[in-house]
């Protein structure tokens, strides 16, 4: 282990290390703490300029309910859910199929196709912006929930396929081989042999894609106009304009926007990190 | 194997074409849904954008539904060459690329700091990762306030150091500052660096988690052996640990490069490219020219996007080449 385990350095060093940890953490999360404190402050504090000091009174419930009663935040949140959930389902399902094909079958274009998905995952969004926006307008998908989740699902399929393909590739190939010798149909091998084995990968992908898409801001701006289809990220920006100088409300709304991915992360932490680091450590 | 032979003898007629070519057809059946979807939304639009960058178009269609685009050849690129905003954006993109790289060593540093097994360490590790989980929109807003010279943390700390507080008879507090607090986001020289610093926060967290996983897999026996040879501290880190972290470093560099070039959210939230276009980057400038109140310039925007795509392609090709080497070795 590197660095040398702190236990081996004597009790004084260990105590110092443990005392320093919370301090370092507070410093690291200072911006977040500040915004949290702002979100529970009263309007009086904001008006008197006490934005970063200790709140004179706690208005946590008032502020957070105000966000919902005075703005379309609830609608934005719900839109985000409606965009994110189908995206996760479509992209993961397609990637399971495609990843299986690219990992198990030996055919000439398998690697080029795999690289196509990988490359597509790295390109800048801007190169897609005008055609995708135009296509959405033409097909009536502009400013709709479906227009957004269809795009996200297609785009995330690149990353998901990269991920599933590598995961399936790492499975013992003998399993598939022996199923084939037994005469099991290809789709049955996929459904009954491979799919149960890739469940952890599916969980990892689902939380990752959920977070990525929930946090999307660019496409929310490109593909929507009004409030009816805007997700919460774009909504927070709109609120920033609506609640000018009401920092306590904007910060409350921002924190609300952050809650679903954060909850998701803490519930599925192991999967989340496994997902991010797959391929980093072979 | 014996089974297969038996089946063959039991079917005297030629097995169907589909059966014979099962292993050649099956992958395509699994691939087609994803391929079609990916082609429609990703592959084809790339080429459409490249093509569109040779046109001038405001996004409108005539009564028959034909696009009103007019062919201008490479004129958009010639205009780019003379466009100071384009060069500012490009320069800022380079600043992002270079400074964003700090996330890699800083991530390693925090990972080394946290790579201990004391009680509650899991909690600390996940809390340090926290900034990556929340949206860049929220990060941008947070740092926007953070930098505010009047009431942000920067302003508050500045007052504590450089200002003298005086209260007059009416009870009004005034500050006498030897130097005024810096308004980072309104200053053309500093705003970009302010945004990059904000962007580094989640990116460091990302690199940190990659390195923490990497450190888990560092061979303990090699470290022990190096310790017996008297290696420690920096030498140990540089000659024994870092080489073993190579895969983690590679991924960290990849995601950092992509993150730097893709930066859009923070700029859109914190400055919208201002003041005077000084914080623009290609990704934001493209958005600005293509969808803005000054009229939609799809062709020109596409040419900006093409330049960004070209830069990205340079890196993507390198990553793919590295992956290809791995694939060859892996078989």
**A55 within domain boundaries:** yes
Asked if the C-beta of B186 comes within 8 angstroms of chain A's C-beta atoms, the answer is no
pLDDT tens across the length of chain B (331 residues): 444 444 444 444 556 777 777 778 888 999 999 999 999 999 999 999 999 999 888 888 888 877 888 888 898 999 999 999 999 999 999 999 999 999 999 999 999 999 988 888 889 999 999 899 999 999 998 888 888 877 677 777 777 777 777 777 776 767 777 777 778 888 888 899 999 999 999 999 999 999 999 998 888 888 888 888 888 788 888 888 999 999 899 999 999 999 999 999 999 999 888 788 889 999 999 999 998 767 788 999 999 999 999 999 999 999 999 888 888 775 4
Whether A154 sits inside 8 A of B40 (CB atoms) is yes
- A241: CATH: 1.10.3720.10
Same-domain check for residues A62 and A74 = no
Q: Where among A18, A43, A66 does a domain terminate?
A: A66
Same domain, A142 and A37: no
Nearest to A107 among B24, B113, B130 (CB): B24
CA distance A192 to chain B (A): 15
Contact call for B28 and A101, based on CB within 8 A: yes
CA-nearest of B254, B257, B215, B251 to B236 is B215
**Nearest in space to B270 (alpha carbons), one of B146, B150, B149:** B146
Establish if B176 touches chain A: CB-CB under 8 angstroms.
Answer: no
Nearest by CB: B209 against A90, A158, A277: A277
A94 plus A153 within the same structural domain: yes
Looking at the fold, whether A24 and A132 belong to one and the same domain comes out as no
Confidence tier at A226 by pLDDT (50, 70, 90) = confident
- Determine whether the interchain pair B309/A153 forms a contact, defined as Cβ–Cβ distance below 8 Å: no
Distance from CA of B189 to the nearest CA of A (A): 23
For residue A124, the chain B residues in CB contact (below 8 A) are: 261-262, 282-283, 305, 308-309, 312
A243 and A143 in one domain? Answer: yes
Per-residue pLDDT, B15 = 66
Q: By CB neighbour count within 10 A (0-12 exposed, 13-18 middle, 19+ buried), where does A193 fall?
A: middle
Q: In this structure, are A73 and A59 located in the same domain?
A: no
Tell me the C-alpha to C-alpha distance, in Å, between residue A231 and each of A157, A210, B103, B132. Answer: 21, 13, 29, 19
Structural contact between residues B211 and B107, judged by C-beta atoms closer than 8 angstroms: yes
> Which of A116, A119, A250 is nearest residue B141 as measured by Cβ atoms?
A250
B324 touches chain A (CB under 8 A): yes
Domain check: are A35 and A108 in the same one? no
Same domain assignment for residues A61 and A181? no
- Which ipTM value was assigned to this complex? 0.90
Same domain, A51 and A176: no
**Rounded CA gap, B54 and B80, in Å?**
12
In this prediction, residue A130 has a pLDDT band, given cuts at 50, 70 and 90, of very high
Domain shared by A60 and A173, yes or no: no
CB contact B213 to A (< 8 Å) = yes
b/e for A37-50, b at 16 or more Cβ within 10 A? bbbbbbbebbeeeb
Domain count of the fold of chain A: 2
Let me know if residue A227 belongs to a domain: yes
What share of chain A has pLDDT > 90, as a percent? 48
The Cα A137–Cα A125 span in angstroms is: 18
Nearest Cα residue in chain A from B22 = A186
Q: Taking 50 as the threshold, does the pLDDT of residue A282 lie above it?
A: no
Residue A1 lies in a domain: no
Task: Give bridge partners of residue B173 from the DSSP assignment.
Answer: B167
Q: Does residue A12 fall inside a structural domain?
A: yes
CA B280, CA B291: separation in Å to the nearest integer? 15
pLDDT level of residue A68 (50, 70, 90 thresholds): confident
Q: What is the pLDDT of residue A52?
A: 63
Return the residue in B69, B112, B127, B134 with the most chain A beta carbons within 10 A, the one to mutate for interface testing: B134
Domain boundary among A31, A51, A66: A66
- The answer to whether residue A189 sits within a structural domain is yes
**Smallest Cα–Cα separation from A154: which of A79, A211, A235, A209?**
A209
Residue A225 lies in a domain: yes
Residue A161, domain extent:
69-280
Dihedral Cα A188, A191, A194, A200, nearest 10 deg:
-170
Residue A264 within a domain: yes
B294 token code pair: 């000054």
Query: End of a domain among A66, A88, A117?
Result: A66
pLDDT of B171: 67
Is A99 in the same domain as A38? Answer: no
- Chain B environment of A131 (Cβ under 8 Å): 44-45, 48-49, 52
Put simply, the answer to whether B137 touches A94 (Cβ < 8 Å) is: no
Between chains, do B27 and A25 touch, taking CB under 8 Å as contact? no
Q: For residues A101 and B28, is the Cβ–Cβ distance under 8 A?
A: yes
pLDDT of residue B7: 47
CA distance B210 to chain A (A): 6
Q: Which residues of B112-135 are buried (b: 16+ CB within 10 A; e: fewer)?
A: bbbbbeeeeeeebbbbbbbbbbbb
Q: What is the pLDDT of residue A2?
A: 78
Residues of B in contact with A176 (CB under 8 A): none
- Side-chain half-sphere exposure of A9, counting CA atoms within 13 A: 14
Mind listing the pLDDT tens digit for each residue in A5-49?
Answer: 887 888 888 888 989 999 999 999 988 888 888 888 877 777 666
Nearest CA in chain B to A39: B142
**CB of B157 within 8 Å of any CB in chain A?**
no
Residues A126 and A211 in one domain: yes
Note whether B305 contacts A129, CB cutoff 8 Å.
yes
Sign of CA dihedral A32, A33, A37, A38: negative
What tens digit of pLDDT does each residue of B62-95 get?
888 778 888 888 989 999 999 999 999 999 999 9
Q: Is B56 helix (H, G, I), strand (E, B) or coil?
A: strand
Q: Which of B117, B127, B268 sits opposite A29 (nearest CB)?
A: B127
């Amino acid at each position: 282990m590197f660095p040398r385990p702190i236990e081996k350095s004597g009790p004084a060093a260990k105590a110092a290390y443990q005392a320093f940890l919370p301090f370092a953490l507070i410093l690291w999360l200072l911006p977040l703490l500040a915004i949290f404190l702002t979100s529970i402050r009263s309007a009086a504090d904001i008006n008197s300029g006490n934005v970063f000091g200790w709140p004179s009174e706690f208005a946590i419930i008032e502020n957070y309910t105000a966000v919902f009663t005075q703005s379309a935040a609830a609608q934005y949140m719900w839109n985000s859910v409606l965009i994110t959930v189908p995206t996760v389902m479509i992209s993961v399902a397609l990637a399971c199929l495609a990843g299986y094909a690219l990992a198990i079958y030996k055919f000439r274009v398998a690697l080029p196709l795999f690289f196509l998905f990988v490359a597509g995952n790295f390109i800048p969004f801007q190169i897609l912006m005008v055609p995708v926006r135009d296509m959405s307008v033409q097909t009536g998908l502009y400013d709709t929930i479906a227009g957004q989740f269809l795009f996200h699902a297609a785009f995330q399929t690149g990353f998901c396929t990269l991920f599933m393909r590598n995961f399936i590739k790492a499975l013992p190939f003998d399993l598939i081989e022996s199923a084939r010798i037994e005469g099991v149909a290809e789709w049955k091998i996929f459904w009954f042999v491979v799919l149960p084995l890739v469940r952890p990968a599916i969980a990892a992908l689902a939380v990752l894609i959920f977070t990525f898409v929930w946090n999307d801001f660019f496409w929310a701006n490109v593909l929507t106009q009004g409030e009816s289809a805007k997700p919460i990220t774009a909504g927070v920006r709109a609120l920033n304009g609506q609640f000018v100088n009401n920092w306590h409300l904007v910060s409350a709304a921002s924190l609300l926007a952050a809650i679903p991915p954060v909850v998701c992360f803490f519930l599925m932490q192991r999967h989340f990190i496994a997902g991010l680091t797959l391929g980093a450590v072979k | 194997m014996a089974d297969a032979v038996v089946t063959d003898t039991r079917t005297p007629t030629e097995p169907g074409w589909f059966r014979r070519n099962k292993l050649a057809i099956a992958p395509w059946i699994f691939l087609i849904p994803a391929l079609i979807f990916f082609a429609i939304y990703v592959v084809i639009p790339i080429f459409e954008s490249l093509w569109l960058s040779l046109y001038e178009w405001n996004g409108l269609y005539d009564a028959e539904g034909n696009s009103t685009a007019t062919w201008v050849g490479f004129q958009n690129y010639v205009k780019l060459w003379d466009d100071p905003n384009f060069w500012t954006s490009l320069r800022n993109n380079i600043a992002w690329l270079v400074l964003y790289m700090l996330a890699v060593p800083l991530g390693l540093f925090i990972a080394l700091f946290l790579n201990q097994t004391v009680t509650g360490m899991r909690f600390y590790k996940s809390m340090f990762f926290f900034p990556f989980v929340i949206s860049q929109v929220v990060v941008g807003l947070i740092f926007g306030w953070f930098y505010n010279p009047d009431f942000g943390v920067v302003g508050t700390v500045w007052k504590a150091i450089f200002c003298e507080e005086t209260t007059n008879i009416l009870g009004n507090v005034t500050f006498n500052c030897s130097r005024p607090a810096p308004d980072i986001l309104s200053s053309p020289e500093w705003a970009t660096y302010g945004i990059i610093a904000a962007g580094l926060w989640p990116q460091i967290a990302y690199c940190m988690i990659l390195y923490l996983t990497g450190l888990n897999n560092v061979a303990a026996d090699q470290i022990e052996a190096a310790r017996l040879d008297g290696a420690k501290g920096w030498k140990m880190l540089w000659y024994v640990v870092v080489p073993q972290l190579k895969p983690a470093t590679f991924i960290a560099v990849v995601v950092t490069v992509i993150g730097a070039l893709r930066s859009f959210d923070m700029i859109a939230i914190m400055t919208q490219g201002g003041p005077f276009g000084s914080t623009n980057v290609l990704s934001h400038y493209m958005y600005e020219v293509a969808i803005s109140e000054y009229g939609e310039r799809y062709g020109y925007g596409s040419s900006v996007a093409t330049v960004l795509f070209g830069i990205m392609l340079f890196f993507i090709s390198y990553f793919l080449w590295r992956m290809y080497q791995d694939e060859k070795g892996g078989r």
